[in-house]
Amino acid sequence: MMMGKDKNRYGQYFTIEAIADFMVSLIRHDRSASVLEPSCGRGVFLGQLEKYGFNNISAYEIDPALNPPYPYVQYRSFVSSPLDERFDVIVGNPPYIRWKNIEPELKSELEDSSLWKRYFNSLCDYLFIFILKSIEQLTENGELIFICPEYWMNTTHSRSLRDYMIANGSLSEIFHFKDAALFEGVTSSYVVFRYVKSVHNAGIDLYRYNQKGKPSVQELQQKSCFDFIRIPQFRQGERWVLASEEDRMLLSAFEQECSKRSDDLFSPVDLYRLGDFCDIGNGMVSGLDKAFRIKDVSGLNDGEKSHLIHVYKAKDLQPFYNISDSYYFFMKEEISENQFQIKYPSVYAQLSACRDELSKRYSYGKDLKFWEFAFPRNESLFRRQEPRIFVPCKERISHKNYFRFAFADESTFPLQDVTGILKKPDCNEDIYYILAYLNSSRVFHWLIYNGIVKGDIVEFSEAPLASIPYRPIDWDNDAEVAIHDEVVNNTKQYIATKDIGILEMIEQNINDLFHV
């Protein structure tokens, strides 16, 4: 759910006038068209509709406290409004609320809705019913123009909504604003889309916002703040990837190479995934890194040194290797404060200097001592005596064509801004092969379209990493085994020498594997 200072219990995020003006300008119907704003808020869209000369306007608003100054506003919920009403145009900024955050009375309303019961469940969001019910209430060739987060375009639980939309019409334009600051305090990536009922366009005009900050009305009207490409129309049963035909073909070919072979021609494609071969865990949380980081190890006694852990943070990582590191004090011993001060005097002095800040850490429901990590998440995983791969939990890719999957030895721990990847016991591929594979251009290309992306930030928590298609080695194929071994050797050599010429060899190794 997008967060802003104007958020209330109805999931309201108020649209800036420039965006409302732009969205109304996208309407193709003439000024006599019947228009609905299903959640009008303070009335910014209504003002723009009147400015553009529309005079057959209806509007709903569930929150009478907003009191938009338009006599045709009905203070009721769109979800329960008459389903047999028809409109030529529906435009607006629908509410976005995750199921767990929906107010009880709104949940009851959804549970009574025939449309909700037919298409959705408790994994779905309040936004979905606004999109689907709007389409139901459009006339033939009617237009739906909404601004909303883009997450529903590729999540599993929104598939029924996407399939419904493709079955009943098509998108004509999508304006992808990524993480531009159109709402106060909002960090989600969002889109404006225009959808036409009963019309099946062959392609979609995709506009990607290429500026920082809020656009002006003039920039939007002239589309000078967008990069443009035409993409194929979406199909039923697929996630909506905002990619060109060429890129979609590359993604499809990549996934095909990572698919499990089946003798059944009619069975759905099943992919090998990284999570099938690796254990993945987010790093441990100290709650206040500056308190636990030990800058001068030489000043510690032997007992203090025995509780040091070798640590990589996100800033320490580069593709394949680390550029810096640090040591942190980490202890789970049951001990009184007096005993702690006696046994670990230098660390006690350092932690005591930050005691007030440490006391304000989120405690995860525990009686947390000030010398303890707030949440030693996945500690048992990282105690395993085997090498691992680290990657920053979040990576901005606006000016990069790589991610930072880095090798770490068996004694190194990730902190909260890093996610760790370790081989499962039955995985036969070498960790250096997995490292090279994850740093390959094929995986990068797949992730920028299929990873958990918010604006230009890709998120690498456990679930999205586990979903990455994986290319295992056919150990009965001598050519594949030879490529695997060459990848391993070249990767080790690159980490040792940092010779960038070896990167080209590694990339070629991966390409060779996909063409065996």
SS3 assignment for 379-439: HHHHCCCCCEEEEECEEECCCCCCCCCEEECCCEEEECCEEEEEECCCCCCCHHHHHHHHC
**276-287+309-329+375-514: which CATH number, 3.30.1360, 3.90.220, 1.10.10, 1.20.950?**
3.90.220
Summary mean pLDDT of the chain: 91
Mean pLDDT confidence for 137-147? 98
| Band of residue 184 on the pLDDT scale cut at 50, 70, 90 | low
Read off the pLDDT of each residue in 30-38 and give the average, rounded to a whole number.
97
Query: Largest Cα–Cα distance in the chain?
Result: 83
Of 219, 409, 164, 376, nearest to 310 by C-alpha is 409
Averaged pLDDT, 103-115? 91
Residue 346: CB atoms within 10 A of its CB come to 14
Instruction: Tell me the C-alpha distance between 177 and 242, whole Å.
Output: 12
Of how many residues is the chain composed?
A: 516
Query: For 452-476, what is the mean pLDDT?
Result: 89
Say how far apart CA 512 and CA 516 lie, in whole Å. Answer: 6
> pLDDT class for 183, splitting at 50, 70, 90?
low
Q: How confident is the model at residue 7 (pLDDT cuts 50, 70, 90)?
A: very low
pLDDT (mean) for 277-304: 97
Per-residue pLDDT at 3 exceeds 60: no
Render pLDDT for 312-322 as a digit per residue (tens, 0 to 9).
Answer: 999 999 999 99
Q: What is the mean pLDDT of residues 420-436?
A: 98
More confident residue, 183 or 189: 189
Give me the helices (H) in 270-377, please: 274-277, 289-292, 302-305, 337-343, 345-352, 355-359
Going from N- to C-terminal start, the domains of the chain cover: 17-242, 276-287+309-329+375-514
Calculate what percentage of the chain has a pLDDT beyond 90.
77
**Per-residue pLDDT band at 516 (split at 50, 70, 90):** low
- Which CATH number fits the domain 17-242, given the four candidates 3.30.590.10, 3.30.1490.190, 3.40.50.1000, 3.40.50.150? 3.40.50.150
Show the 3-state SS of 215-283: CCHHHHHHCCCEEEEEEECCCCCCCCCCCCHHHHHHHHHHHHHCECCCCCCCCCCCECEHHHHEEEEEC
Q: Across residues 196-217, what is the average pLDDT?
A: 91
In the prediction, which pLDDT does 10 show?
45
Confidence band for 116, pLDDT divided at 50, 70 and 90: very high
pLDDT-derived band at 96, boundaries 50, 70, 90 = confident
Instruction: Determine which helix (DSSP H) or strand (DSSP E) holds 114, and give its type and residue range.
Output: helix 114-119
Is the pLDDT assigned to residue 49 strictly greater than 80?
Answer: yes
Query: If residue 308 lies in a helix (H) or strand (E), which one and from where to where?
Result: strand 308-312
- The two tokens of residue 276 are 């099938």
CB 146 within 8 A of CB 91: yes
Per-residue confidence band for 358, with pLDDT thresholds at 50, 70 and 90:
very high
